Chain A
């Protein structure tokens, strides 16, 4: 550690102080929708989005998306959406949250179209259905279109700025600390309310590919769980990390499969050509993955999506659909010298992700998307309890959180921020840059991923979990956390961002392991599958497993919450 750094006024770090009414961490679908909602309802309210990348192409939807997978087509209702989500999630979801999303799905989807994103239409002008709850869009430019809407709304955006922690004062959240991804700048941002919309976490586990392809993954590799980690450090309650989300994807390129499975009704077959799903309990999303893992274990893999019976016309349609979301798959077909319908597509499971948009890991919130910490709201992939919300559900939660934050700030003033606390955070944030030497962020990231893959149900273990290995993961993660906190070295600003990404990932991994240890049953095969407790046990475990982190002594407490009953308001 370079001692001069503390003695010479922050070693050239410029401190920038900003004030806003509402600060939003993350300029993705949820954050942008929250910003626009606030500005539409109250033009004089100041909104600042803190975005790690650039809002035009940040986060999950950087490449685009080719369907809105949560939309109520004719015959569907918010209640039938809830029923479907419950069925897919072994019955355990936050009914109140899911229903509130269902009630808004169509309105927010239509709003997206009004901003200028092209939708595929039937002759009568209605949306083209891809399934009961899905419509096809031409969504390559979804992110630029949303970014334009934010710009028009008058919300301010701070691009290339990395949030590090919430600021607490008078028992509530009063702002956000952040630093510039490009220059030695530290931000102290005062806000009357903060909305967390950072997205979930990839890269906790060893991914499918290595070397030059290590980031060839389904979920955005730049979503690292910072929102979870910031919430944990502030004492916010989290829920259901143990229901990891594992995506069934196209081998190697990790492209989504819905385009083929739903879009052109492919058959899911094993190496013997058998439609193997018939052998399993049902055809739910987790079961399609579990069945594929099981077929491979039984020696009947590889498994495929087979649409070779389809006409040549399907090829062009598929290529265009994938160009709008996951263009890399076209390179795969070109490199293999085949057209899409020439051969079945091999499928496999992804690394486990910690997300609230497909799975249900994240902040424990009430119906207004208020976290358990006063002044802190959350929306989108970072919110737990409401799986299968997808893009449009993130819009819906952004809207709900935006309106609730607007209501909350009415009688709030800008609070004083302790200079000592600011100094401490600045030191914490920049220390890796000013250390003389130490391992690089990448080295620790690979160490984390190895621990999780080896002991916490990664790809190499077919996602299976057991107590003894999880205890080993717990032990090794504590050691790793200690190492990272005291030794990590960033050679430049880019590596400083990565240093905080791995710091946050390690905390998320620690909390995840506690959740995995605590639930002693198998509720969501593959996502959460305990070989030492292979049965589902509704009598004992039809509950939410929640957690709280104590920053003072670095400890994690598990809290059980009943599954029944609507949590309309947190006790204050």
Chain B
């Protein structure tokens, strides 16, 4: 399932040789292109685990369903903060839903 990089939002994590999304992808599917932006090597190989989406500090990544399995344009983005993860679901008609989910107990955040 593919992931899309918004080239206007992505800054390649500045000078980082390994941007945060590139670092965590379990399939090693992301890389930094010549324009210092992150890109997906082969969208067909994406597993849809959303690791990269959660990792991006600028919310430059989003995932969507491929057309082959009924995708019609809905997207998911995420934002990680300490102990909390926010998800932003945008539906094909442009309406949105937000979910806020706990990721760690207070104890482990110290």
Contact = CB atoms under 8 A, between A and B. Distances in A.
A116 B108 contact: yes
Interface residues of B, number: 49
A370 B32 CA distance: 42
Given A221-B27, A221-B47, A330-B76, A335 B104 contact: no
A141 B104 contact: yes
Contacts of A57: 24-26, 49, 51, 55
Contact of A118 (B41, B75, B103): B103
A54 B23 contact: yes
Residue from the set B24, B46, B73 with the largest chain A CB neighbour count within 10 Å? B24
Contact of A63 (B50, B73, B104): B50
Interface string A233-258: 00000000000000000001100000
Contacts of B57: none
A216 interface: yes
A216 B69 CA distance: 9
Interface string B79-93: 000000101011111
Given A252-B70, A328-B63, A212 B43 contact: yes
A118 B47 contact: no
A405 interface: no
Residue from the set B45, B72, B107 with the largest chain A CB neighbour count within 10 Å? B45
Contacts of B64: 331
Contacts of A145: 104, 108
Nearest to A212: B66
B105 interface: yes
Nearest to A202: B47
B26 A253 contact: no
Nearest to A115: B108
B57 to A, nearest CB: 15
Interface stretch (A296-304, A319-327, A380-388, A529-537): A319-327
A58 B89 CA distance: 25
B101 interface: yes
A328 B65 contact: yes
B48 A140 contact: no
Contacts of A58: 26
Contacts of B90: 334
B34 interface: no
Contact of B70 (A222, A320, A324, A336): A336
Nearest to B29: A494
Give the contact-size bracket for chain A.
35 or more
Interface in A57-78: 57-59, 62-63
Contacts of B63: 327-328, 331
B102 interface: yes
Contacts of B89: 330-331, 334
A116 B26 contact: no
A215 interface: yes
Nearest to B95: A334
Contacts of A335: 65, 70-74, 92
B31 to A, nearest CB: 8
B44 A62 contact: no
Nearest to A210: B68
Contacts of A160: 28
Contacts of B35: none
Contacts of B15: none
Contact of B44 (A63, A113, A214): A214
Contacts of A216: 1, 47-48, 66, 69
Interface in A335-356: 335-337
A181 B23 CA distance: 12
Nearest to A223: B26
A253 B66 CA distance: 10
Contacts of B51: 56-57, 62-63
Contacts of B85: 140-141
A211 B43 CA distance: 9
Contact of A320 (B45, B71, B101, B104): B101
Contacts of B99: 319-320, 323
Contacts of A328: 1, 48, 63, 65
Interface in A98-140: 113, 115-118, 138, 140
Nearest to B67: A212
Contacts of B73: 335
Contact of A213 (B1, B25, B105): B1
A215 B24 contact: no
B68 A209 contact: yes
Interface string A42-61: 00000000000110111100
A220 interface: yes
A217 interface: yes
Contacts of B93: 337
B109 interface: yes
Contacts of B25: 53-54, 57
A59 to B, nearest CB: 7
A335 B65 CA distance: 8
Given A141-B104, A328-B63, A212 B2 contact: yes
A163 to B, nearest CB: 15
Contact of A252 (B26, B41, B69, B108): B69
A212 B89 CA distance: 21
B41 to A, nearest CB: 6
Contact of B103 (A141, A214, A327, A494): A141
In the A-B complex, the 7 residue pairs with the closest CB atoms? A116-B108, A334-B74, A212-B66, A57-B51, A62-B49, A63-B49, A141-B103
14 contacts: A53-B27, A63-B49, A113-B105, A117-B105, A138-B101, A182-B28, A209-B66, A209-B68, A211-B66, A253-B48, A326-B48, A327-B87, A331-B89, A335-B72
